[in-house]
Structure 1
Amino acid sequence: MRIKGSTVVITGASSGVGRAAAVRYAKSGANLVLAARDAEALEDAAETCREQGVIVLTVPTDVTDARAVDQLAKEAVREFAGIDVWINNASVSLFASIADAPLEDFRRVLDVNIMGYVHGARAALRYMRPQGQGVLINVSSVVGHVPQPYTAAYSISKAGVNALSVSLRSELALDKFKDIHVVTVLPPTIDTPFFDQVANATGRKVLAMPPVHSPEEVAEVLLKAARKPRHDMPVGSAAKQMIRQHRVSPASVESLMAQQVDKKHLSSTQPAAATHGNLFQPSPSERHELHGGWDGRRRQAGRRLLATGALVAAAAGGLAVLGRQQDRPRRRH
């Protein structure tokens, strides 16, 4: 797809990945419709994009409100006469054991991360189908394939996003819409303010678990997803390897993931008070930044270490299975 002059709608555009994607698309000449709950932070992101000489419309939107998302799509079409790319990106998270997770918080994560994407998909496709073309991009996560402990709600929601994409592709294929694409982008940990804004009932401070990637890296994949759509697009080699090895040796990779979360995602020395984070109210505008201060540009060594660890763990699991098979006595007929 040609990006220059296209119309791109991005939810969760006030900070982090959504903001990085907005800037990247603006640099490529796309006109933008940016959505998030905080109008002030959204306008700040828009001003940065307008510096590239493109038209930017801001529409404050809570994606859990289906009517508000429909209105977002209507505003985009009223301003630009169509929608070429829609990026479902707005997400929230909760860190808690399943036993201790406040149920209202758990439900809110599912409502934002699953129903918000359903609302976005329905709104976007309502205009893409008559056009006969378009790209719907769902920002999922590696944890949709390799779930984590203490983030069950988030992991469930991202697995649901993966399933949503497959179902949408199947329906579009059956209806012969070969030029409407549905892409799932699968990032690992990203250096954004996300981890300072999550709901938390663990009693431990949430950290960005390595490997940490920059939001600009995800934005590049989101741009590529529109230019050359593919079904699933992991971000970075570690993400690709984790997903691939989980298919081969799920027990080993899940064990590695659990250990990493306990050691690297939750602090063993820094306590944290219980908080609902940004589940029900947007974070303060000063926290709507592009980066989160987790050094996403520099932690290449951590990426290689985790990727290697995943491969070693998976290989060890595979060898153990093979050894058990070889040690098993053969049946005599």
Structure 2
Amino acid sequence: MPSTVVITGASAGIGRATARLYGRRGANVVLVARGEGGLRAAADEVAALGGHPLVQIADMADQARVEAVAEAAEEEFGPVDVWINCAFATVFAPFDEITPEEFRRITDVTYLGFVNGTRSALRRMLPRDRGTIVQVGSALGERSIPLQSAYCGAKHAINGFTSALRTELLHRGSGVHVTVVQMPAVNTPQFEWVRSRLSKHPMPVPPIYQPEVAARAVLYAADHPRRKQYYVGAGAAATIWANRLAPALLDRYLARTGFDAQQTDRIPPAGLDNLFAPVDQDPAADQGSHGSFDDSAHPRSWQQTLARHPAATALGTGAAVVGAVSGIRRLTSGSA
């Protein structure tokens, strides 16, 4: 029997790349997002690779609609084996330039969307005492950066929520697993669609990875969910650990570099953004999984390979952390 997998945020980026991997496995793949054009294109890819797609247009901030997605998935394919929360929304701007309505929208999608998806998944998994939930997190859920206060806050909230849920499942002795994959900067179309008040085009903070790197990590975490969390990319792991070891130094470093590091020299994107409505309704607007940073994005991660071996991970991450902290000390020495 093929496994049944629900993927939110499946029309682009990490969700889209993950859907293709499950398609190659011949899985039943329930594709969830707001943009019909991107979802239809994703469904065509899954089918061409040997999978069985089901398109579900839904806003993850709407709990009733999310519950309808879960019902449709099980009516079409039977029990859901894996639920992957990946949908998000954000705004690039200083906090005081983000409106209350925008901040609430980001929180509703990026945090409560994960809560809504998890609730609907658990409603079906707990009675069967099996299933896996994968939260697609971010290094920014442990180390915040400027210009992304709402997104960072939501990703921090996901970590807190998931840790509490994990302890409840352990208390029950449940066979349901939940794990988090902490992502690095990824080359997705969000930087073309995002609402931004920056003077230049927004970009991910290097090192940047291709969505396929992230997708392979999601697949591995779903197959091996007993670990609390996985880190993708040496930069993400080093940033998280450097923050734990030297948070004040990292604050000063990001205050100096964090604004410029998230902007290119290009003119900001014009036209509509996807905060309150999708921009890929028409199939002609589909951008696939990649953004506009292919030239600088890494197609693989040595840290991801090491992550499958805990002892090697500790050694590799330790070396990266030492280098990161040393670099931060040099860059911030003598600064205000």
Instruction: Please classify the TM superposition score into its range, dividing by the shorter chain length.
Output: 0.7 to 0.9
Residue equivalent to 1:291: 290
Structure 2 vs 1, CA of residues 85 and 260 (structure 1 numbering), >3 Å: closer, same or farther? farther
Match of 2:176 among 168, 177, 180: 180
Letter in 2 for 1:202: L
Shift of 1:312: 4.1
1:104 is the counterpart of 2:101: yes
Match of 1:156 among 153, 157, 169: 153
Letter in 2 for 1:166: S
| 1:212-267 Cα distance to aligned partner (Å, 9 max, x none) | 00100011001101111121111112211111121111122233334442222124
Residue equivalent to 1:242: 239
User: Is the CA contact 2:83–2:134 (under 8 Å) kept in the aligned structure 1?
Assistant: yes
User: Is the CA contact 2:272–2:279 (under 8 Å) kept in the aligned structure 1?
Assistant: no
* Structure 2 segments unaligned to the other structure (5+ residues): 304-317, 331-336
The TM-score normalised by the length of structure 2 is 0.86
SS in 2 for 1:122: helix
Residue range with higher mean Cα deviation, 151-160 or 27-36 = 27-36
Aligned equivalents of 1:46, 1:152: Cα separation in 2: 33
Aligned equivalents of 1:287, 1:39: Cα separation in 2: 9
* Structure 1 segments unaligned to the other structure (5+ residues): 320-333
Match of 1:44 among 41, 44, 48: 41
User: Is the CA contact 2:93–2:148 (under 8 Å) kept in the aligned structure 1?
Assistant: yes
Shift of 1:202: 2.8
Match of 1:223 among 219, 224, 233: 219
Structure 2 vs 1, CA of residues 318 and 96 (structure 1 numbering), >3 Å: closer, same or farther? closer
Residue equivalent to 1:281: 277
| 1:161-212 Cα distance to aligned partner (Å, 9 max, x none) | 11111011111111220x2111111111101101111111233321222110
Aligned equivalents of 2:163, 2:295: Cα separation in 1: 30
User: Is the CA contact 2:210–2:299 (under 8 Å) kept in the aligned structure 1?
Assistant: no
Structure 2 vs 1, CA of residues 313 and 43 (structure 1 numbering), >3 Å: closer, same or farther? closer
Shift of 1:297: 6.8
User: Is the CA contact 1:17–1:192 (under 8 Å) kept in the aligned structure 2?
Assistant: yes
- Aligned-residue RMSD, C-alpha: 2.6
- Percent of aligned positions with the same letter in both sequences? 34
Larger Rg, first or second structure (1 or 2): 1
SS in 2 for 1:129: helix
| 1:90-120 Cα distance to aligned partner (Å, 9 max, x none) | 0111111111112211111011001111110
Letter in 2 for 1:159: H
Residue equivalent to 1:24: 21
Shift of 1:310: 6.3
Aligned equivalents of 1:316, 1:53: Cα separation in 2: 47
Shift of 1:299: 4.6
Shift of 1:26: 1.3
SS in 1 for 2:259: helix
SS in 1 for 2:258: helix
1:55 is the counterpart of 2:52: yes
Which 4+ residue blocks in structure 1 deviate beyond 6 angstroms?
A: 273-276, 307-310, 316-319
Residue equivalent to 1:329: none
Structure 2 vs 1, CA of residues 296 and 240 (structure 1 numbering), >3 Å: closer, same or farther? farther
Aligned equivalents of 1:201, 1:195: Cα separation in 2: 12
| 1:295-324 Cα distance to aligned partner (Å, 9 max, x none) | 2775589x99xx9996445247789xxxxx
Match of 2:7 among 6, 10, 16: 10
SS in 2 for 1:138: strand
Structure 2 vs 1, CA of residues 241 and 316 (structure 1 numbering), >3 Å: closer, same or farther? closer
Aligned equivalents of 1:12, 1:214: Cα separation in 2: 16
